[in-house]
Amino acid sequence: MFTNTQIDTNALPQIDQVELHPIDKAYLKIIVINKLLVYGVIVLALILAKLFLVDVLIQSYFWLLAAAVGLLCLSNFMLALLAFKKRMYALRDKDVIYAHGLLIHRLTTVPISRIQHIETSRSWLSRQFGLATLNIYTAGESGSDLSIKGLSEAEATRINDFLSTTVNGGS
């Protein structure tokens, strides 16, 4: 006989009761370096435009354009700094949780039973700060379903080892 019992959503576990851990503070340095590199390219493009474009219209509005671009870069930088505090993760018996985003806050939960593959990656800059990214893959996707950037190398390795053991039928 078919039954379809209603579930009391108030009795479900509350995600806000999970203790989320912040990512390593050294990752903020990587964010700042990446942002400054992009802004450097933008400033270089503006300088080249000022020097080599002879269009009178562009020349007359150059400082207005430069101020607008500067304001956008400053806003982007401030949002990145504020959003850093929202990057948090948790590991539970049955899932991995990652929260991030300031204007659009995302909370991603991947059940451990759905994990197909786990890898730890490190860019050149991440290696300089002893950081790593934990990439978690589930079935059916071409890319990773969850990437937790800014973990210390030791923490990423511990989580990777735990998940690998659990997924492969260990503990």
Q: For residue 35, give every residue at least 6 positions away whose Cβ sits within 8 Å of its Cβ, in sequence order, or none.
A: 76, 77, 80
- Lowest-pLDDT range, 14-23, 26-35, 94-103? 14-23
Other CB atoms within 10 Å distance of the CB of residue 89? 21
- Positive/negative CA dihedral, 81, 99, 121, 170: positive
Closest CA to 47 of 68, 66, 24: 66
Give the residue, 167 or 53, on which the prediction is more confident. 167
Q: Report pLDDT for 169.
A: 76
Residue 125 has a pLDDT of: 95
Q: Is the pLDDT of residue 84 over 70?
A: yes
Of 42-56, 71-85, 91-105, 146-160, the poorest mean pLDDT is in: 42-56
Residue 21 CA to residue 13 CA, distance in Å, equals: 19
pTM of the full structure: 0.83
Residue 143: pLDDT over 90 = no
- Which CATH number is associated with domain 87-167? 2.30.29.30
Task: Give CA–CA dist 4/23, Å, rounded.
Answer: 41
Q: Round the average pLDDT of the chain to a whole number and report it.
A: 90
Domain ranges (residues) in the chain: 26-84, 87-167
- Give the per-residue pLDDT at 11: 85
